Amino acid sequence: MSHKEKDDWTKPSVMTVGNSSIHRHIHPGVYKTEPVIGDHKALSTAAAALDLDKGNTSQSIDMSLTSILSAEAIENAVKDCQAPDTFCYKKFFQLCGLSSKTPKEIKDVFQILDEDNSGFIEESELKYFLQRFVPGARTLTEAETKTFISAADDDNDGRIGAEEFQTMVLS
């Protein structure tokens, strides 16, 4: 496709996939999704197609924890540890369903929790661990944060890597 034939990103358009549609707005890269019947897989496919359409070779699709874990299980896990100094990572992972997920799904959750995309979950990120699951949840206490890190940090670098996280979740 020549440059002149290329899609004009200044004009709004609609893409329909399955039972869902994605509206492409006037600003490049800004999308408003409007599921007609809530077909998440179709929306992901459409979003990837739009991303490729504008010449971006990256096919990354924004994930959320509720695309991997059930919202009800997450809510129950956070409620179970809402009092300070009651957080137990093993129980939390079981209650939210993470301990029964595949290694790929656990890695996906890790990437969501790694807020700064450094490849590690640092103490500063871990403090807000529960808030990544439920906005408005409490922060972990200093003792809970240190216990959490020491349980997973096999190489003693003060942070949790993806493999360390996966080992902890599946232990």
Model pLDDT for residues 34-62, shown as the tens digit of each residue: 344 444 444 444 444 444 333 333 333 34
Assess whether 6 and 19 both reside in one domain.
yes
**Is 87 annotated as belonging to a binding site?**
no
Return the residue matching tokens 């997920």.
101
Residues 107 and 24 in one domain: no
* 85 is an annotated ligand-binding site residue: no
- Domain match, 11 and 72 both: no
- Shared domain for 30 and 75, answered yes or no, is no
8 among the known binding-site residues? no
pLDDT band at 63 (very low <50, low <70, confident <90, very high): confident
Report how many helices (DSSP H) and strands (DSSP E) the chain contains, helices first. Answer: 8, 5
One domain for residues 165 and 84: yes
Show Cβ contacts of residue 107 under 8 Å, excluding neighbours closer than 6 positions.
Answer: 162, 166
Distance CA 88, CA 72 (A): 19
Q: Using a cut of 0.85, tell me whether the model's pTM lies above it.
A: no
pLDDT in tens, 86-113: 999 999 999 999 999 999 999 999 999 9
51 labeled binding residue:
no
Which among 43, 62, 81 is the end of a domain? 62
For residue 20, pLDDT over 60 is answered with no
**141 and 99 both lie in a single domain:** yes
The reply to whether 55 and 94 lie within a common domain is no
Same domain for 1 and 52, yes or no, is: yes
Is pLDDT larger for residue 36 or for residue 142? 142
Higher pLDDT, 143 or 32: 143
End residue of a domain, out of 46, 62, 78: 62
Say whether 153 counts as a known binding-site residue.
Answer: yes
120 marked ligand binding residue:
yes
| 62 assigned ligand-binding residue | no
Q: How many domains does the chain have?
A: 2
Judge whether residue 157 has pLDDT over 70.
yes
Same-domain status, 79 and 149: yes
Residue 48 sits at φ, ψ, to 5 deg, of -65, -40
Range of the domain at 154: 65-170
Summarize the confidence of residues 132-137 as an average pLDDT.
94
**Which residues face 14 on adjacent strands?**
23
